[in-house]
Structure 1
């Protein structure tokens, strides 16, 4: 049985939709105070309202250091401190090499990778004050393990998050602050809803469990990393993908089903 996390405070960036929304709501169910962070205040407040009185919305561009500082201060002022950071904000526009511009590359790296550094830097004084803390990064299987055409900038940002995580975990260990990452596979979010049934069925066929993941699958992994039971786990990753990265070829899936 996990120890209660009720009364602790978490910041969830990119918390207004998709995986971030799922993490924010799961944390809220566990009794955690949640600052739901989004570029759009109305969307953040909508999710906070779904969670209840122990959640609130905050508008921030997490690629802006001043916005990240304001975000951390707001969480501490509203709830008396910070215990957990979920660095979840991310974008995944498609652009193949030869078409991708330096601006395209920088935008993805700033939003996905630089923001992880900025958010950690902003909450660090509050976590050090408590001499404890949990940092949970939403990375991806794309980049650290797999690749996909059009996502070289996205893959670089997600692999970069893991490089950051490993050294951050060492540096912050003396303060009893852990740093870990969840690597989602294909998760059913708003972004996939409009791709069409044929595309979704093709994705399912490539996964040994033959189904797409739910945002709750990622949220539960994040909640574990945030728990007291994970206090001796740092610098580690959990792949949550239904076994997607396991087959060495399509034939392996054919053999499974034969």
Structure 2
């Protein structure tokens, strides 16, 4: 029971990574709060929480809106009195060459993938400081760690920005016993993966030393570690989980 009795908020709560991780958290004793931009997102994943409904809360809020995220945080504090863990999973992909990418497509990815993380970290910080406890885990990507074929500059910039934001946040919040860390996944078996043609899948695998694409559970376990008290002396770190593709 590595997160027993903890309250964990997931921004981008309908994502594949959030779903896999939240189910693990519930199994390890936590109550989870899922935050996403539309109620329909929760409908898509509700089957994953069959029999666990009493351990799940769902709030609708757009990560791009500080006011919306702040309201979701306030609702959680009103109900539970605290948020122990924040997991930032919200993100979108628009992979195009820079000469094709529009200014709006640049901004949309920055707004969700980077500004959204700023919004949620800012919103939970006062409560975590007051309690002198917190675990923040932000999801970056191999696309923000090194230049990758097919990764747009918008996505790479946002995901790299998450690393800088988190490392600075770790220093700022350390005096209050709040840790901030990053998990940077490589290619995963998510909804996008299963829609890919086989030759594209083969191309992905060719560049992964361990010879396969990652499972969502393998990212979930990495997040669980950083969110637990086992990682209480780990902050400002980036955990690359990518089958060796970063080598």
2: CA distance, partners of 1:23 / 1:60: 20
Does the CA contact (< 8 Å) of 1:12 and 1:23 recur in 2? no
Paired position in structure 1 for 2:230:
229
Runs of 4+ in structure 1 over 2 Å off: 42-51, 77-80, 145-150
Displacement, 1:98?
1.2
Q: Secondary structure at the match of 1:142?
A: helix
Where does 1:198-217 land on structure 2 (aligned, <5 Å)?
Answer: 198-217=199-218
2: CA distance, partners of 1:98 / 1:199: 23
- Could you tell me the TM-score, scaled by structure 2's length? 0.94
Does the CA contact (< 8 Å) of 2:13 and 2:90 recur in 1? yes
Where does 1:35-50 land on structure 2 (aligned, <5 Å)?
Answer: 35-44=33-42, 47=45, 50=48
Displacement, 1:160?
0.5
- Could you tell me the TM-score, scaled by structure 1's length? 0.90
- Structure 1 residue runs of 5 or longer lacking an equivalent are 247-258
Deviations 1:95-150 (A, max 9, x none): 21111121111110010011111100111111112101000000001122233335
How many correspondences in the alignment? 244
C-alpha RMSD of the superposition? 1.5
Does the CA contact (< 8 Å) of 1:36 and 1:45 recur in 2? no
1: CA distance, partners of 2:148 / 2:239: 18
2: CA distance, partners of 1:221 / 1:168: 20
Does the CA contact (< 8 Å) of 2:85 and 2:227 recur in 1? yes
Paired position in structure 2 for 1:163:
164
Is 1:71 matched with 2:69? Answer: no
Paired position in structure 2 for 1:256:
none
